[in-house]
Amino acid sequence: MPSEACIMSRFLEEGVSEADSFLLQECGARRLPDCDALTVEGRDLVAGWQLVVQTPMAQRRLNIYADPQFPFSLPHFFLLDRPPFLSWPHIEEDGLLCLRPRRVTKFRQPDKVIGQLLSEDVYPLIVACESGANQNDFRTEFYSYWNRGLSTEEDMVRSLLEPRGPSRLVQVWRGQTCSVVGETEQQVLAWLRNLHGNEPQFDSTDTACLLWMEVPMLPAEYPRTAGDLYRIAGSITGGKELLARFAKAGVSPFYFVIGAESGNGPCLAVVRAYKPISTDIRGKTRDPANDGFRPGKVPPRMQTQRLFSSDAGASRLQVDRVDAEWVHGRDQDPRQETLRAKTVLLFGCGSVGAPIAHQFAMAGVDHLILVDPKKLSWANVGRHPLGADHVGSKKAIALAEIWSKAYPHARFEGFDVSSHLFLAEHMELATKADLILCATADWTSELGLNFRQVCGEIAAPVLYCWTEPNACAGHAVLLFHEGPCLQCGFSTSGDCKLQVTEWPQEKELKMEPACGAVFQPYGPIELLGTISVGASLGLDGLLGKVTAATHRIWAGPESLLLEAGGTWSKAWINGNMERSKGGFQEERVWGRDPLCDVCGGSDAATRLSSKSGNPDNVSSSTLLS
Amino acid sequence: MTLIVLGDKQQTAILIDCNIREAADDPDDDTRDVAKDLRERLQRDSQGRPYVDAFLSSHPDQDHCRGIRKHFHLGALENYPDDKKPENEKKILIREMWSSPIVFRRASKDHILCDDALAFQKEAKRRVQLARDKQCSGIEAGDRVLILGEDVDGKTDDLRAILVKLDEVFDTVNGAPNQVFKARLLAPLPMSNDEEEEEGLSKNHSSVVLNIELADDPNRRTVKDFLTGGDAEVLIWEKLWDKYKKEPEVLAYDSMLTPHHCSWHSLSHDSRTDLGDKAEVSADAKSALSQIRQGGYIIASSCPIKDDDCDPPCHAARLEYESIADGAEGEFVCTGEYPTESDPAPLEFTISDGKLAKSVRKAAMHAPAILTAGIIDRIGSKAAEAEAVKRGGNSRYA
């Protein structure tokens, strides 16, 4: 077998040769020396040709280059005769044309690839640039142009702002290499503390100004002086008044955030303007903003004009949006508005609860309250989001810490107590929750929670999640106050009435060499099905897509089940032999049991509610009996 | 006519002299269209105007400035007249002129200028006056001028910022330092008090002589020297050898353009017409011109060199240069014979990978044809049938 390098070299050679024939014979191109291609700075190119294209306005030289992946990759087109950078959209500093996304489908016909690109993309792009027909692309793809030449390493701004109007005063924390803007001081400082810890420098913010424009700026409009900012403010309704307030409240350097709707979502830019300073003939520094007036006596309008004049320098800065709307879905996820207002309370931060909660955090849930009294052990590390560096840490506290860093715009609280104690001491937090996730797989705590929901003490829907032995099947049950309760689908001893799998007793539980140290030997990959049904049902509940008691089941692949020594239960197969292959999810209605000890009829619920008053007064043994 | 395209990011272009005959501009004439050869190697500025970053006029003889009025823009940038003209009719901008001070001198019986030379002189004077007015600062590309050598009577004393004195090394092109370019000014030599010697040093003999150091790229992995001397004749080379024989590295080169198109008179004071083969080569002049490095090139920019009485180019001079090249395992090349006498083409050299090499392909390259919208449509419709590319990005993500 020839080596891959040989095969790829052969394809490259053949591809370049095909392209060469086509370009020279049909396009009148000339081949460039290979050293020309190799010296195109910052590009990995191996062969090139030059064409001259007659457009409606001019003859323009166009270089075409092949890269080492050619003919599997698209050729690269560079326009040599062009106006200065940022005069035309879709053309980089070195003349590379940024064409619309395309894929090679016929790598054995590079001539056709080049021909199609020339006629469908390259030529129309140049003509559109010449005529100015695509100038609006500077707006719709604002960041591609604004960020050009701006360093993200030396100076940048992170934004927590809600990217929409009206123009308003906002807050900025100034860092040496990175500053943060947000709506309020509290928001900005909380974000910084979440990400970097409670450092002393995160103590205060300054006023900044958000100017919301009708449309994004074109490159020619990018501010170069504070005077340009004054003009922009003047073009916005109420902009000058806002600027006057900013002149009074802000301090130099002044941070301006300029935003607009681009057509592809909102875009933000930051400009930092400096107070004008001049020196007199003696070399003494003067403050032109106060020239001719005693300190504090400059008329406000004049002060604004002087502060934001053409004499005051301004520098553009790159903006990195770090607000939830951007982080979770790049402004394109309509669910974010709902999820940003949600709180989830998690009982049980184990191998099921922690990954599901992590999915909620990544999905954009704003507030997660984590409750678990246990510490992470070495044996947990293999299937838990926390790793070896957290062995010995309380799971709930550690998860809240690492997720606060990972998602600093969101809120995470950890409580190292049992669910029972948490509810006794922090019921006010439980009542704020929009969803309670119970992943303790502990009947005692589940029953207590179920009882509180049935009684109405907890109004939020409760999602129960667990796996069957060896994680060969998983369950997620979402229950509402008004509907059937957990007990309806459970035996009084805490077994789910619908077991998907059956196990010989010796296969069901493994033991550590210690008293009562039973465990399930599943790994993180087998768990994914259970986490999937739990997270998706929880999300549907938060979004209001599921409003009635629902049971989602994950049946793992048959091979996993057989390897572990289990079988499908008769109740699960129930004559449907196609189920025996496994590897699917199923959604069922969680039905009410009319004989349910907890909710089996309004009388029973009322009786329980009125007798117990506070469910903490009812011992679990009473309920189980 | 020599075009140097530097290995910097901007591909800075330096043109040495210009000789574009009317015949070369005549599409019905077989003379090679050297203007086209030149244009296709030049970059265009933001307004689509072709330009050279620097134009060195070695001396104002017609065969060194012919065609300048027709093909180059002489005058202020705001008066550029060709923006609406087709590409091949647009005049070439000269961002910076390099000239010896001879162009500022009045014409005399010893200093008769052709129309092209007069036009160049006028433009150089305009730029010098502008430099004077602006005290040599804030001068934009298109108005810049560099004077190579001091003029007499302190006439250039107030132009120090745009003046390169004899023996000075400069590395600026078009007003900016360049990492891949450096040049030492070896001539014109100062006027002599000896009337006879001064006569020998004047006009043709007072060409600009530069030894130019060129690097392949800003990392300067490969550096080669190019010696160019216009029409400098034997006395100049003798004096240069006298001056530098103790440090001959100053005159060392990897490529050299033979002075005065391979003229005998750059090597000898004797007339071959009078003395035939008894005419003697000046040992000092030959020494000055023999500082070739191993594998170097000696290039005669001339018509084919025949064994006849023509001078320049002179066959006997060719033999002398060939012997110099042979001694260094180098090569003598005549542009009029390359690649063939019947179909000569531009001779190009490339500096890279430790070598100075003739780049044959580029030299033989033809100018690209013009691709019109109609041709593109035709190519596109054929290609579209094949559906060789598909719109849209990936349909799979990871």
Question: What pLDDT was estimated at residue A153?
Answer: 67
**Residue that has been written with the tokens 């017609």 in this structure:** B62
| Mean pLDDT, residues A516-528 | 75
Same domain assignment for residues B17 and B161: yes
Question: What is the per-residue pLDDT for A623?
Answer: 25
* C-beta atoms of A27 and B362 within 8 A: no
Render pLDDT for A556-606 as a digit per residue (tens, 0 to 9). Answer: 999 999 999 999 999 999 988 999 999 999 999 999 999 998 987 554 445
Residue B7 at interface with chain A, using a CB cutoff of 8 Å: yes
Residue A263 to chain B, least CA–CA distance (Å): 19
What are the CA-CA distances from residue B179 to residues A85, B21, B90, B350 (Å)?
24, 35, 30, 17
pLDDT score at A584: 96
Angle between helices A239-249 and A300-307 (to 10 degrees): 90
Q: Do B18 and B162 sit in the same domain of this protein?
A: yes
Cβ–Cβ < 8 Å for A385, A358? yes
**Mapping DSSP to helix (H, G, I), strand (E, B) and coil, where does residue A494 land?**
coil
- What is the rounded end-to-end Cα distance, in angstroms, of chain B? 57
Last residue of a domain, one of B142, B167, B192: B167
If one compares A254 and A9, the residue with the highest pLDDT of the two is A254
- Partner residue facing B377 (CB), from A29, A58, A119: A119
Query: Is B350 within 8 Å of A33 when comparing Cβ atoms?
Result: yes
Q: Which residue in chain A has the smallest CA separation from B359?
A: A33
* Chosen from A81, A88, A108, A109 to mutate, greatest number of chain B CBs within 10 A: A81
Task: Measure CB to CB from residue B9 to each of A26, A29, A41 and give the nearest one.
Answer: A41
Of the residues B40, B366, B379, the best mutation for testing chain A's interface (the one with the most A CB atoms within 10 Å of its CB) is: B379
Nearest CA in chain A to B376: A119
Chain A residues lying within 8 Å of B384, measured CB to CB: 116, 119-120
Residues B251 and B158 in one domain: no
Is B269 inside a domain boundary? yes
Higher pLDDT, A617 or B166: B166
As a whole number, mean pLDDT of residues B21-49 equals: 80
Q: Is residue B23 part of a domain?
A: yes
Average pLDDT score over residue span B295-300: 96
- The C-alpha angle with vertex A268 and arms to A265 and A274, in degrees rounded to 5, equals 170
Q: Do residue B249 and residue B156 come from a single domain?
A: no
Percent of chain A surpassing pLDDT 90: 74
The string over A325-357, giving b where at least 16 C-beta atoms fall within 10 Å of a residue's C-beta and e elsewhere, is bbbbeebeeeebeebbebbbbbbbbbbbbbbbb
Q: Are B158 and B10 in the same domain?
A: yes
pLDDT at A625: 21
- The answer, yes or no, to whether residue B315 has pLDDT greater than 90, is yes
Q: Would you say residue B195 lies in a domain?
A: no
Residues of A in contact with B141 (CB under 8 A): none
A52, B369: Cβ pair inside 8 Å?
Answer: yes
Same domain, B246 and B386: yes
Does residue B47 lie within any of the structural domains? yes
Q: Does the beta-carbon distance from A30 to B391 stay under 8 Å? A: no
Residue B226 within a domain: no
Distance CA A485, CA B315 (A): 111
- CB of A220 within 8 Å of a chain B CB? The answer is no
Residue B143 resides in a domain: yes
- The pLDDT tens digits of the residues spanning A87-108 come to 999 999 999 999 998 999 999 9
Lowest mean pLDDT among A171-175, A303-307, B282-286, B306-310: A303-307
The residue of chain B with its CA nearest to that of A36 is B7
CA B329 to chain A, closest CA, distance in angstroms equals 25
- Whole-number percent of chain B with pLDDT over 70: 91
Q: Both B1 and B136 in a single domain? A: yes
- DSSP three-state, residue A437: strand
Mean pLDDT of B179-191: 91
What is the residue range of B260's domain? 233-398
Q: How do the residues of chain A divide into helix, strand and coil, expressed in percent and rounded to 5?
A: 40, 25, 40
Per the CB < 8 Å rule, is A28 touching B369? Answer: yes
Q: Is the domain of B23 the same as that of B140?
A: yes
Of B120, B144, B167, which residue constitutes the final position of a domain?
A: B167
- Note whether B395 contacts A: Cβ–Cβ < 8 A: no
Residue B79 banded pLDDT, cuts 50, 70, 90? very high
Q: Cβ of B388 and A31 within 8 Å? A: no
In terms of CA atoms, which chain A residue is nearest residue B87? A59
Token pair, residue A101, equals 């996304």
B341 and B263 housed in the same domain: yes
Residue B25: inside a domain, yes or no? yes
pLDDT averaged over every residue in chain B? 87
Q: If contacts are CB pairs under 8 Å, which of residues 121-150 in chain A contact chain B?
A: 123
Name the band, by pLDDT with cuts 50, 70 and 90, for residue B80: very high
Residue B208 within a domain: no
| pLDDT tens-digit map of A224-245 | 999 999 999 999 999 999 999 9
Q: Which residue, B8, B91, B107, B9, is CA-closest to B55?
A: B91
Spell out which residues of chain B touch residue A70, defining contact as CB-CB under 8 Å: none
Residues belonging to chain A = 625
- Domains in chain A and their CATH numbers? 4-135 (3.10.110), 144-322 (no CATH), 336-624 (3.40.50.720)
What pLDDT sits at residue A347? 98
Judgement on whether residues B248 and B377 belong to the same structural domain of the protein: yes
Looking at the fold, whether B270 and B388 belong to one and the same domain comes out as yes
Chain A interface includes B10 (CB < 8 A): no
Q: Give the end of a domain, one of B167, B188, B206.
A: B167
End-to-end CA distance of chain A: 73
The pLDDT of residue A421: 96
Count up the domains in chain B and report the number: 2
Same domain, B161 and B246: no
Nearest to A54 among B359, B372, B379 (CB): B372
CA torsion, ordered A246, A248, A253, A254, to nearest 10 deg: 0
pTM > 0.95: no
Q: What is the pLDDT of residue A616?
A: 36
What per-residue confidence (pLDDT) applies to A195? 96
pLDDT, averaged across chain A:
89
The candidate with the shortest Cα–Cα distance to A195, out of A322, A318, A371, is: A322
Closest residue on chain A to B46 (Cα): A83
* pLDDT for the residue A440: 96
Q: What is the ipTM of this complex?
A: 0.71
**Is residue A330 within 8 angstroms of chain B, CB to CB?**
no
